[in-house]
């Protein structure tokens, strides 16, 4: 099992797929290299999701959100984050689009 875990950890760090884990307070607790590069995060940064969205909007990085009222969008998206469950994990979309 340790060999499988090591292989999965290697894939997680090497993939171009964005992987991020947030805690119950919506603070980033883990992000792979692809996610950190896309959202311009230093290795030690653990921002709250809304702070990450605000910062990257101002820098034109990460998810591009085009709405008239960005703060209203953040509030609306936050109300949907984590409201869907998929087995032991839950998909949390940076766009706040929900779980489909």
pLDDT in tens, 31-75: 999 999 999 999 999 999 999 999 989 988 888 888 999 999 999
**Does some domain include residue 47?**
yes
**Does some domain include residue 41?**
yes
- The 3-state secondary structure of the chain, one letter per residue: CHHHHHHHHHHHHHCCCCCEEECCCCEEEEECHHHHHHCCCCCCCCCEHHHHHHHHHHHCCCCCCCCCCHHHHHHHHHHHCCCCCECCECCCCCCCCCCC
Could you tell me the residue range of the domain that residue 61 belongs to? 2-80
**Does some domain include residue 98?**
no
**Does some domain include residue 56?**
yes
pTM for the structure as a whole:
0.72
pLDDT in tens, 81-92: 876 554 444 444
**Number of domains forming the structure of the chain:** 1
**Does some domain include residue 94?**
no
**Does some domain include residue 59?**
yes
């Amino acid at each position: 099992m340790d060999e499988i875990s090591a292989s999965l950890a290697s894939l997680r760090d090497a993939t171009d797929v964005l992987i991020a884990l947030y805690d119950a307070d919506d603070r980033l607790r883990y992000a792979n290299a692809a996610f950190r590069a896309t959202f311009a995060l230093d290795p030690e940064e653990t921002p709250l999701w809304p702070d990450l969205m605000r910062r990257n909007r101002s820098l034109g990085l990460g998810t591009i959100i085009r709405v008239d009222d960005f703060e209203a969008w953040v509030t609306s998206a936050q109300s949907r984050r984590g409201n869907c469950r998929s087995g032991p994990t839950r998909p949390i979309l940076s766009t706040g689009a929900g779980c489909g």
